[in-house]
């Protein structure tokens, strides 16, 4: 039985050519020319002045939060429905993550619930663009201006997405991206930080490079990380970036195929095709099931037996044992985050998927759910 994975990346551009160029030149480390080229081209694509390439998307968040000076006593407002990367450096810095629930239609943070969480200790809002549609940013930007807060965009899952006519990742003080193999473009592992602030950019460069002093290399005034992207990774990134528009078109084509094949099935909530401020970019194709079908975890196991790879939705931050150990999220309730976590999952939707595979996924899903075909 041919297994259909949840994701399969595509390398059909200049990836091999640029990698060979790295190998032949001997420039394989972070000192190679493709790193700066990737930073500049990616920043230009999104519409920001400065790009800082790092080892992965989690590292990008760590550096971004540290670069903003978030520290003990500060609070950062974060959606509960997200990946744990979003709280790691907040907690490590001594700051407090403050959670908000999600919108049940877009699966993004419910912007109407943010203001009630703001107090004198609030330092920043982390807007995580989730799955296919972005956070409705204009109300968030207004709150940041009114209360003098920093805005961070986690744009890992929506590279190339627009919010109205501006690129996601260009509307904040600092934004982060991931180039893991399931993202719109990949470098295997890898991440990027974007900003329009020269001081923040310089601080990010220092933090990713062990905070070496410029004129006294092995002398350090602050603690940083070794989070440098290699020239090999950046070479792949440049080649992938050249194909970004093609990849986005393919993702939206995948979304349309699934929408057509799964529409009008009772008890299955599909991703919204669009909202006022954006068209869905379908980073993944998510589904939220009615409880009558059982839990998402049960369906995922059954799909695996049918040769179809699926992936569960995020587990809410306020229910994470490690987060609760620090005293955060304890006894808090966020019903939308809890429900979509329990009932949500996504089906194969990587760039390498074919129409035949999409049709097979839908056939097997209907079989597992007991839907007549």
Per-residue pLDDT of 40-52, as tens digits, reads: 999 999 999 999 9
Q: Residue 64 corresponds to which tokens in the numbers above? A: 């971004």
Coil vs helix vs strand at 119: coil
Say whether pLDDT at 216 is over 90. no
What is the per-residue pLDDT across 226-269, written as a single tens digit (0 to 9) for each? Answer: 999 999 999 999 999 999 999 999 999 999 999 999 998 999 99
Residue 321, C-beta contacts closer than 8 angstroms, at least 6 positions apart: none
Which of 138, 144, 116, 130 minimizes the C-alpha distance to 79? Answer: 130
Label residue 215 by pLDDT band (50, 70, 90): confident
In terms of DSSP H, where are the helices of 11-67? 15-25, 33-46, 57-67
Nearest-angstrom CA–CA distance, 335 and 320: 15
Tokens representing 294 are 């059982």
Domains of the chain with bracketed CATH: 15-241 (3.40.640.10), 244-369 (3.90.1150.10)
| pLDDT band at residue 1 using 50, 70 and 90 as cut-offs | low
Residue 264's pLDDT is: 87
What is the rounded CA–CA span in Å between residue 270 and residue 286? 7
Long-range contacts at 16-22 (CB < 8 A, ≥ 24 apart): 17/239, 18/235, 18/236, 18/238, 18/239, 19/232, 19/235, 19/236, 21/235, 22/231, 22/232, 22/235
Could you read off the pLDDT of 273-318 as tens digits, one per residue? 999 999 999 999 999 999 999 999 999 999 999 999 999 999 999 9
Closest CA to 64 of 227, 236, 187: 227
Residue 180 CB-half CA count within 13 A: 16
Average pLDDT on 9-22 reads 97
Question: pLDDT band at residue 95, thresholds of 50, 70 and 90?
Answer: very high
């Amino acid at each position: 039985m041919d297994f259909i994975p949840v994701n399969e990346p595509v390398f059909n551009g200049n990836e091999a050519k640029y990698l060979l160029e790295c190998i032949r030149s001997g420039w394989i480390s972070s000192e190679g020319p493709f790193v700066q080229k990737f930073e500049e081209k990616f920043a230009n694509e999104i519409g920001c002045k400065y790009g800082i390439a790092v080892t992965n998307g989690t590292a990008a968040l760590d550096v971004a939060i540290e670069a903003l000076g978030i520290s003990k006593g500060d609070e950062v407002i974060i959606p509960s429905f997200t990946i744990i990367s979003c709280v790691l450096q907040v907690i490590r810095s001594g700051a407090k993550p403050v959670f908000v629930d999600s919108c049940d239609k877009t699966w993004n943070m419910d912007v109407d619930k943010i203001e009630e969480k703001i107090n004198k200790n609030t330092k920043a809002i982390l807007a995580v663009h989730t799955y296919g549609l972005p956070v409705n940013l204009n109300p968030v930007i207004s709150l940041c201006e009114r209360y003098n807060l920093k805005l961070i965009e986690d744009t890992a899952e929506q590279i190339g997405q627009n919010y109205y006519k501006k690129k996601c990742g260009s509307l904040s003080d600092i934004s982060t991206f991931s180039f893991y193999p399931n993202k719109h473009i990949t470098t295997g592992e890898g991440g990027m930080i974007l900003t329009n602030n020269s001081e923040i950019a310089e601080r990010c460069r220092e933090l990713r490079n062990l905070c070496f002093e410029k004129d006294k290399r092995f002398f350090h005034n602050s603690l940083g990380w070794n989070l440098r992207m290699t020239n090999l990774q950046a070479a792949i990134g440049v080649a992938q970036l050249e194909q970004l528009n093609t990849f986005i078109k393919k993702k939206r084509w995948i979304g349309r195929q699934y929408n057509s094949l799964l529409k009008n099935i009772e008890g299955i909530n599909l991703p919204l095709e669009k909202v006022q401020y954006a068209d869905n970019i379908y980073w993944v194709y998510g589904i939220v099931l009615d409880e009558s079908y059982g839990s998402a975890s049960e369906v995922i196991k059954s799909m695996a037996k049918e040769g179809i790879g699926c992936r569960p939705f995020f587990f809410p931050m306020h229910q994470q044992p490690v987060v609760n150990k620090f005293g955060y999220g304890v006894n808090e309730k966020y019903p939308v985050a809890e429900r979509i976590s329990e009932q949500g999952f996504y089906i194969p939707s990587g760039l390498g998927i074919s129409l035949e595979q999409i049709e097979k996924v839908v056939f097997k899903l209907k079989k597992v759910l007991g839907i007549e075909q």
